[in-house]
Amino acid sequence: MYNMEARHIIETLRSGIPSRVIGQYFSEARPKVMKELSDRLEQTCEHGKSGGTIISGKYGEGKTHLLNAMFHLAHSNNMVVSFLSLSKETPMDKLYLVYQKIIGNTYLPRRQQPGFWHELEKISANSPIANEMLLFAAKHLETDKLYYLLRSYWNTEDADEKFVLRADLEGDFIANAPLKKIYRRIFNQPVKYNTNFSKTKHCGDYFSFMSHLFTQMGYSGWLILVDETELMGRLGKKARLNAYRNMANFLFPDQSLESVFSIFALSASYVEDVIEGKHEYANLEEIYPDEQESIRAVLDLLIRAPQLLPLTKEEIGEVLCKIQDFHGKAYGWTPNVSSASLMEVTQSGGYLLRTKIRAAIEFLDQLYQYGRAGKTIINELGQETFEEDIPSIEDF
């Protein structure tokens, strides 16, 4: 009898598309990198220390897989996880768009689907957590907009108002005038902002607010994973510098972020193609001569970012053995194939790890369907033999 979960894993590996479920079951490779990232997560959870790091690697060498492995590790440590792939629609230089996409891809521990609004709905207007969040919004952010928005959200009984207010928390920011109108209707009091909110200037308030909310909800912290970071290189000169400045908010956060750890993954060629090729340090001197510190720190970190090395022969062997085990469970058979045979067949699969994995799965497919693949044969006893070992008619 085949195992549906194992079959899903094999088919996902066959597609070559990174997946969180693969990150869950294939996280043993690169133990040194995983240990370093695990230690940083532990500091975030136990000491509330926020920070971030950058990993780089060649195409197909497992950057996204590593992020997915960290996704699973963070959930096992009771952390909220957000996963974002940068794109033309979500560029790093526009933090308000980044926030919107991050919140839309935020997963509570042990949840398969994104979203946390069902937990927010459980908070009543006069509960201790509501009072704490209102105090935080009023006293610890650059603007006090979220104080008026939250108080309205927890006290309105109008479904349309609640929808608009929740949409604001999701990143579809409500203008100042409509919020003032809603607040006045509910409380018969005027709104007196200490500073008028602007999404381009004050989006950091929302990240700070969410990080505090997650810890108040009882979670250990918030892991933010950002993939395809190299797409910043397609931005214009000034936009790239602004993107680095926004990265600094996650890599070198101040006290406004609470228990947040961020990991950015980018192509190993970024330093040569963009930082050196487009003269980023000279661009910084030209465009922001008086505001260089945070951007320069990010550029320095990008240059020093550790690069994922190709897996060792032993690490590849461990992955292939696990794939063989899952293939057997997926299709209800026992592939008694030596690790040497699996390793040999991957040599024709190119240098990319994903192509080696596909070659191994195709090899196991042929053995399962036909009992043979190349020179390898599975005999009636389920044992591995080789074509040259089979006697021919001339031997008799």
CA distance readout (Å), 61 to 86, 130, 272, 342, 351 = 19, 45, 18, 19, 9
Number of C-alpha atoms within 13 angstroms, CB side, residue 90?
19
CA nearest to 316, candidates 10, 69, 30, 68: 30
Q: What are the pLDDT digits (tens) for 376-387?
A: 665 544 555 655
What pLDDT sits at residue 367?
A: 87
Exposure class string for 162-199: b at 16+ Cβ within 10 A, else e = bebbeebbebebbebeebbebbeebeeeebeeeeebeb
At residue 76, does pLDDT exceed 80?
yes
What pLDDT sits at residue 380?
A: 46
CA 58 to mean position of chain CA atoms: 18
Percentage of the chain surpassing pLDDT 70? 90
Where helices occur in 226-279 by DSSP H, the ranges are 237-251, 270
Q: Mean pLDDT score of the chain, rounded to an integer?
A: 88
What pLDDT sits at residue 59?
A: 81
Residue 387: which residues within 8 A CB-CB, separation 6 or more?
372, 374, 375, 376, 377
Q: What are the pLDDT digits (tens) for 157-192?
A: 999 999 999 999 999 999 999 999 999 999 999 999
At residue 135, does pLDDT exceed 90?
yes
Q: What are the pLDDT digits (tens) for 197-217?
A: 999 999 999 999 999 999 999
Provide the pLDDT confidence category of residue 128 given band limits of 50, 70 and 90.
very high
Provide the pLDDT confidence category of residue 348 given band limits of 50, 70 and 90.
low
What pLDDT sits at residue 141?
A: 96
Q: What are the pLDDT digits (tens) for 31-45?
A: 788 889 999 999 898
Higher pLDDT, 5 or 54: 54
Q: Tell whether domain 30-113+218-304 is in CATH 3.40.50.
A: yes
Dihedral pair phi/psi, residue 276, rounded to 5°: -85, -45
What pLDDT sits at residue 389?
A: 44
Higher pLDDT, 11 or 247: 247
DSSP 8-state class, residue 275: I
Give the whole-angstrom CA distance, residue 280 versus residue 277.
8
At residue 309, does pLDDT exceed 90?
no
Dihedral pair phi/psi, residue 372, rounded to 5°: -155, 155
CA distance readout (Å), 252 to 38, 266, 285 = 18, 18, 21
Contact criterion met (CB below 8 Å) for 257 and 207: yes
**What is the pLDDT averaged over residues 290-308?**
93
What pLDDT sits at residue 349?
A: 57
Question: Tokens in use for 123?
Answer: 């908070």
Q: Helix (H) and strand (E) counts for the chain?
A: 19, 8
Report helix, strand or coil for 147: helix
Question: Tokens in use for 78?
Answer: 């009771």
At residue 288, does pLDDT exceed 70?
yes
Q: Is 372 exposed, middle or buried (0-12, 13-18, 19+ CB in 10 A)?
A: middle
Per 3-state DSSP, what percentage of the chain is helix, strand, and coil (rounded to 5)? 60, 10, 30
Highest mean pLDDT among 39-48, 52-61, 75-84: 75-84
What pLDDT sits at residue 160?
A: 95
What pLDDT sits at residue 19?
A: 67
Report helix, strand or coil for 213: helix
At residue 224, does pLDDT exceed 50?
yes
What pLDDT sits at residue 118?
A: 87
At residue 395, does pLDDT exceed 50?
no
Strands, DSSP E only, in the chain? 51-57, 79-85, 106-107, 221-227, 260-267, 372-373, 376-378, 384-386
What pLDDT sits at residue 383?
A: 56
What pLDDT sits at residue 31?
A: 77
CA 363 to mean position of chain CA atoms: 32
- Plot region of 58 (φ>0 → left; ψ -120 to 50 → alpha; else → beta): beta
What pLDDT sits at residue 334?
A: 86
At residue 60, does pLDDT exceed 90?
no
Question: Tokens in use for 299?
Answer: 């550029």
Question: Tokens in use for 30?
Answer: 């690169």
What pLDDT sits at residue 300?
A: 97
From first CA to last CA, the distance across the chain in angstroms is 41
The letter for the amino acid at 150 is: L
**What is the pLDDT averaged over residues 292-308?**
94
Question: Tokens in use for 186?
Answer: 């509910």
Residue with tokens 């996704």: 71
Percentage of the chain surpassing pLDDT 90? 59
Q: What are the pLDDT digits (tens) for 233-280?
A: 999 999 999 999 999 999 999 888 999 999 999 999 999 999 999 999
Dihedral pair phi/psi, residue 191, rounded to 5°: -90, 130
DSSP 8-state class, residue 104: H
